[in-house]
């Protein structure tokens, strides 16, 4: 197992290296001037040149790249162009905001998604199944930003129940959590339903049923555990994506998270910060993938005993 984990980590490193290199050079090919942004609209040209020298942007790209890699190998993500604070600090100050939102959303999605999926599979063909199926279809079809706008209009503007935006109390979490989770709820529902139906058809379940145990209990006892294996993967992958994929939800609700930081740092050509953020997104994805694999191995006896 340890060897397997080690191998997985080794696979992750070239991914991260590629990301760093691609972003570094891509942002140097394009128009846009970090020094000018920092200096401001009305700053004199000399001031801009001064800032450019301060940031080391006047050195050749390869020299800058080498310096960046050297620092990165020591775990130093560099300093944000715009705030002059360490990139690690900038990211850390926002990481929890995004992480907590993603955690809330994936929890909601897992509970609601699995429940709906189980109901749908157990009562296959009934009206309950059709309703759940339709809800799930709408869930993967509704544009998240539109859902966010509609909820904001209803619950904040018309009814005044929930704050329209920002980060703070649990009330701030309600709408962003629903918005971020709605696609995952639908996805997990569909996954649970089909996986459960597939498992029910399998032989050992039929055998158990033949022994005369009450049918629904059999389903829950025998099928759910096996059926939830693929669901585990889906939940894990969705969570891995949520850390970076909350961009639009964060934008709608002005959530002070990593996604908004990415939009802002891209706009400000804050290359160290963009690189740092993309590294964090890629790393969290790689880690979640790894955890999912381990969990999967742990849950699935066929893999565990191998």
Residues between 154 and 213 with contacts to another protein, criterion CB under 8 A? 156-157, 163-166, 168, 187, 190-191, 194-195, 197-198
CA distance 18 to 279: 10
User: Closest separation between CB of residue 65 and another protein, Å?
Assistant: 16
User: Closest separation between CB of residue 41 and another protein, Å?
Assistant: 6
Taking residues 105 to 134 in sequence order and writing x for each that binds another protein by CB under 8 A, - otherwise, the string is ------------------------------
**Total of residues contacting another protein (CB under 8 A):** 84
Q: Which residues lie closer than 8 Å to 237 by C-beta, 6 or more apart? A: 288, 289, 292
Q: Which of residues 211-230 bind another protein (CB under 8 A)?
A: none
Candidates 37-45, 68-76, 101-109, 297-305; binding stretch for another protein (CB under 8 A): 37-45
Helical packing angle, 87-122 and 271-299, nearest 10°: 40
Cβ proximity of 61 and 28 under 8 Å: yes
Q: Is position 267 an interface residue for another protein (rule: CB under 8 A)?
A: yes
Q: Is position 20 an interface residue for another protein (rule: CB under 8 A)?
A: no
Q: Is position 93 an interface residue for another protein (rule: CB under 8 A)?
A: yes
User: Closest separation between CB of residue 305 and another protein, Å?
Assistant: 26
Nearer to another protein, 45 or 305 (CB): 45
Nearer to another protein, 25 or 298 (CB): 25
Tell me 220's DSSP state. Answer: I
Tell me the CA distances in angstroms from 82 to 27, 36, 46, one per residue in order: 15, 11, 18
Q: Six-digit token pair at 216?
A: 């629904």
Cβ proximity of 114 and 238 under 8 Å: no
Q: Is position 149 an interface residue for another protein (rule: CB under 8 A)?
A: yes
Q: Which of 96, 146, 204, 298 binds another protein (CB under 8 A)?
A: 146
Q: Which of 55, 118, 119, 282 binds another protein (CB under 8 A)?
A: 282
CA distance 183 to 175: 14
Alpha helices in the chain (DSSP H): 2-29, 34-39, 45-55, 61-73, 87-122, 127-141, 144-151, 170-200, 203-210, 215-218, 224-245, 247-252, 258-267, 271-299, 301-304
Q: Which of 245, 257, 272, 276 binds another protein (CB under 8 A)?
A: 245
Tell me the CA distances in angstroms from 304 to 10, 132, 195, one per residue in order: 22, 34, 21
Q: Is position 141 an interface residue for another protein (rule: CB under 8 A)?
A: yes
CA distance 83 to 54: 13
How many residues are present in the chain? 306
Q: Which of 1, 7, 31, 212 binds another protein (CB under 8 A)?
A: 31
Q: Which of residues 72-91 bind another protein (CB under 8 A)?
A: 80-85
Q: Is position 13 an interface residue for another protein (rule: CB under 8 A)?
A: no
Q: Is position 153 an interface residue for another protein (rule: CB under 8 A)?
A: yes
What is the 3-state secondary structure of 151-170? HHHHHHHHCCCCCCCCCCCH
Nearer to another protein, 68 or 239 (CB): 239
Candidates 39-47, 210-218, 220-228, 292-300; binding stretch for another protein (CB under 8 A): 39-47
Q: Is position 256 an interface residue for another protein (rule: CB under 8 A)?
A: yes
Longest dimension (CA), the chain: 87
């Amino acid at each position: 197992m340890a060897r397997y984990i080690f191998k997985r980590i080794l696979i992750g490193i070239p991914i991260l290296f590629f990301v760093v290199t691609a972003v570094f050079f891509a942002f140097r090919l394009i128009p846009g001037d970090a020094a000018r942004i920092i200096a401001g609209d009305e700053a004199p040209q000399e001031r801009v040149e001064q800032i450019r020298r301060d940031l080391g942007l006047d050195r050749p790209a390869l020299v800058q790249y080498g310096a960046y890699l050297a620092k990165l190998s020591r775990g130093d993500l560099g300093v944000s162009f715009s705030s002059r604070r360490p990139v690690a600090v900038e990211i850390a100050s926002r990481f929890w905001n995004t992480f907590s939102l993603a955690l809330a959303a994936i929890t909601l999605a897992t509970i609601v998604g699995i429940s709906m999926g189980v109901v749908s599979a157990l009562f296959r063909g009934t009206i309950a199944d059709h309703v759940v199926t339709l809800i799930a279809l709408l869930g993967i079809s509704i544009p998240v930003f539109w859902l966010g706008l509609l909820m904001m209009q209803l619950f904040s503007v018309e009814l005044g129940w929930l704050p329209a935006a920002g980060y703070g109390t649990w009330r701030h979490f309600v709408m962003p959590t629903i918005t971020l989770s709605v696609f995952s709820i639908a996805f997990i529902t569909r996954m649970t339903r089909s996986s459960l139906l597939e498992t029910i058809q399998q032989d050992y379940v039929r055998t158990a049923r033949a022994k005369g145990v009450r049918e629904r209990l059999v389903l829950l006892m025998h099928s759910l555990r096996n059926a939830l294996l693929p669901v585990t993967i889906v939940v894990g992958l969705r969570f891995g994506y949520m850390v970076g994929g909350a961009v639009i939800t964060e934008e709608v609700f002005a959530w002070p998270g990593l996604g908004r930081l990415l939009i802002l740092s891209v706009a400000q050509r804050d290359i160290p910060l963009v690189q740092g953020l993309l590294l964090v997104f890629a790393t969290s994805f790689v880690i979640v993938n790894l955890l999912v694999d381990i969990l999967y191995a742990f849950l699935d006896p066929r893999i565990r005993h191998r």
